[in-house]
Chains A and B, each alone.
Chain A
Amino acid sequence: MDVWSSLMDGFATALTPMNFLYAVIGVILGTAVGVLPGLGPAMTVALLLPVTYALEPTSAFIMFAGIYYGGMYGGSTTSILLNTPGESSSVVTAIEGNKMAKAGRAAQALATAAIGSFVAGTIGTALLAVCAPIVVKFAVSLGAPSYFAIMVLALLAVTAVLGSSRLRGFASLGLGLAIGLVGMDSVTGQRRLTFGQPLLADGLDIVVVAVAIFAVGEALWVAAHLRRTPLHAIPVGQPWMGKSDWKRSWKPWLRGTAFGFPFGALPAGGAEIPTFLSYVTEKRLSKNPEEFGNGAIEGVAGPEAANNAAAAGTLTPMLALGLPTNATAAVMLAAFTSYGIQPGPQLFTSEGPLVWALIASLFIGNLLLLIINLPLAPMWAKLLQLPRPYLYAGILFFATLGAYSVNLQAFDLVILLVLGALGFMMRRFGLPVLPLILGVILGPRIEGQLRKTLQLSAGDPAGLFGEPIAVGIYVIIALILLWPFAYKLFRRNRPVAAPAGKAESGGAAALARDADDTVHSNHSAVYSDHKEQP
């Protein structure tokens, strides 16, 4: 099979000592970053973007992918051992995982999380390897109109569906598009938004923007609100599982994977919904549902698998279509751009060996992560005792260093500061960051496709609807935009709508929001059957 032989070639590249080393570095960094509070894979990849100027693309992406997967593993360690998890996709793991840890079963919780993540990651990556070429084959037949429509869909889906306020999402998107406009217009060569500053003529370097928004903005924000009361980490020995734990875990692993991958692959799917769905499903299917809320191992196994499968799923549209569906994928896309590699369906043909080496190293990375996380989890937990001044000072230090090294211009640091302040303001006022970064990355490409479409149709707007796929996508877009209005109307007409159904779909959003609101009290409105003492 063609996929098989490409994959084998990919393994050959990924297993060279150099690339293997980068994979190791990536997974170690990723786990560390996942464990540490305040950091995340997106920020780490952003901080490392500058090194792309010195590394081979294959090595760099192998490292980034390691960081991405590693972040998932590290995050689950923290959410089990601490009682206030960070990333919203780890919230669900924490519900049962932390309870298990408090009951002295931390080792089992960590084990099921790590092994489940491995299973899901491996299956997910295999699905990625199979599905991506299929998507590519389909996508290559698309012309500029359809491609334009898909990109608009991706942008809108992220903006309008994720996050609690669509309005703010659109505002963020607008700002991102505006930032993307700075510089020379690709077609006519005229300067836009440069205000006579020659240094802006090349536009704002995506690396600087990513570092500013993700790293500097985050560091400033956390610095302004450092948690004062320290948390207590539950001590744990080496993770392991008993026979009955294995028996109870393996099916949730598989079910979680089934939930996670498709949602990860959808634009605006994300990892929150599948982890939530997995939890609810496991609770329904469990033979001991009363255990849920007190440390049921299925409640850790399923969501963790869903989490990692979603991560693999996210890479499918990223590699096949050049569409990012979460922050880390967006930053990795920025890395592609800074290498001058055009992301999109042609990526598989133009950079085939790179992509397959990347996919192969994902398999390797998963295995490495299992190996370093299972025996070493207690050691990773010790990282949480790192004094925060060093952590955040370090972030600012490396952000500055990275941004400066792009062009060796102090001016870039001014941009870093200004955009960092913007990132701070956005976090303060609840403007989601993802639409902005997508706007910066996708904006120029969307504009390019739009102009190409209308150029082909010689200025006739009907050209936008030239392809059937494009029309279909516009219908979907219309649905997404009109959905909340239709929903409100629907509710007014049928006030006694099925509460169970609403609770399920509203629960995910509520859970995600609750995760932010109730960081301290660690209880969620949906599960009112257990009261937690903070």
Chain B
Amino acid sequence: MTSLTTGLKGRSELGVSLLLGAAGVLVFLDANGLVTPYSKSDPVGPKTVPFIVAGMLVVCAVLLAINVLRGGKGEAEGGEDVDLAHPADWKTILPLAGAFVANILLIDWAGWVISGTVLFWGSVLALGSRHFVRDGLISVALSLLTFYGFYLGLGIALPAGLLEGIL
């Protein structure tokens, strides 16, 4: 079982390699499409640095793949609040991401007050808080406060969306 898990983990880091390689190729192809008449005032041209970066990414991708296949491992970042003994807690992350996406979808047409409430409420729920009513009230309060605060204090008008006219 351990060798399988390590094998899988090794493979997941290969995903990083893949990402790096894909990024490198992407940068290369995009830069390739640029038009570069030779100009005395700009001998380097807009293509050079992208090519260098692309090359760097591809080289890193290959070296990383080799490193991973040989058993090397990137150390996951630790911290005060982090417990690395358990694998990633998807039951927390996915709802969090969901709350985030909901906000993105809602913010322009439903307005910040609503989308911000959804965001905060969803996040605390995802993170395990069980005080539903209290959390809902805090979410609404935060969204309202920041809505007015940003407008009055910083001059930034967040979208009022559905509540246009009321606020």
Contact = CB atoms under 8 A, between A and B. Distances in A.
Contact of B40 (A84, A167, A229, A459): A459
Given A225-B83, A390-B129, A450 B78 contact: no
Contacts of B74: 165, 168, 428-431
Interface in A305-338: none
Contacts of A447: 49
A192 B46 contact: yes
Contacts of B96: 220, 223, 396
A405 B138 CA distance: 21
B146 A401 contact: yes
Contact of A225 (B41, B61, B89, B138): B89
A389 B123 contact: yes
Nearest to B17: A171
Interface in A127-180: 164-165, 167-168, 170-171, 173-175, 177-178
Contacts of A414: 104
A170 B119 contact: no
Determine which residue in A174, A181, A519 has the highest number of CB atoms from chain B within 10 A of its CB, and name it. Answer: A174
Determine which residue in B12, B23, B67 has the highest number of CB atoms from chain A within 10 A of its CB, and name it. Answer: B23
Contact of A222 (B16, B75, B79, B97): B79
Interface stretch (A96-104, A183-191, A350-358): A183-191
A136 B16 CA distance: 41
B20 A430 contact: no
Contacts of A450: 44, 48-49
A450 B47 CA distance: 13
Interface residues of B, number: 82
Contact of B34 (A38, A86, A190, A519): A190
Interface in B71-87: 72-86
Given A226-B83, A390-B129, A392-B123, 7 more contacts: A38-B80, A177-B53, A188-B42, A223-B127, A224-B89, A408-B157, A413-B100
Contacts of B104: 410, 413-414, 417
Contacts of B48: 450
A393 interface: yes
A400 B159 CA distance: 14
A454 B84 CA distance: 48
A375 B9 CA distance: 48
B144 interface: no
B40 A38 contact: no
Contacts of B107: 404, 410, 413
A387 interface: yes
A389 B77 contact: no
Chain A binding surface SS class:
helix
B132 to A, nearest CB: 12
Contact of A170 (B56, B90, B100): B56
Contact of A227 (B43, B83, B119): B83
A-B complex: 5 closest residue pairs judged by Cβ atoms: A430-B74, A459-B43, A86-B80, A393-B123, A54-B154
Interface of A: 37-38, 51, 53-54, 78, 82, 84-86, 164-165, 167-168, 170-171, 173-175, 177-178, 181, 185, 187-188, 190, 192-193, 195, 220-229, 387-390, 392-394, 396-397, 400-401, 404-405, 408, 410, 413-414, 417, 424-425, 427-431, 443, 447, 450-451, 454-455, 458-459, 513, 515-517, 519-520
Interface of B: 12-13, 16, 19-20, 23-24, 26-27, 30-31, 34-36, 40-46, 48-50, 53, 56-57, 60-61, 63-64, 67, 72-86, 88-90, 92-93, 96-97, 99-101, 103-104, 107-108, 112, 116, 119-120, 123-124, 126-129, 138, 142, 146, 150, 153-159
B108 to A, nearest CB: 5
Contacts of A443: 49
A397 B23 contact: no
B35 to A, nearest CB: 7
A405 B158 contact: yes
Given A387-B129, A408-B159, A429 B79 contact: no
Contacts of A192: 30-31, 34, 46, 50
Given A177-B56, A450-B49, A164 B127 contact: no
B103 A225 contact: no
Contacts of B138: 390
A37 B79 contact: yes
A393 B26 contact: no
B22 to A, nearest CB: 11
A86 B77 CA distance: 11
A225 B86 contact: yes
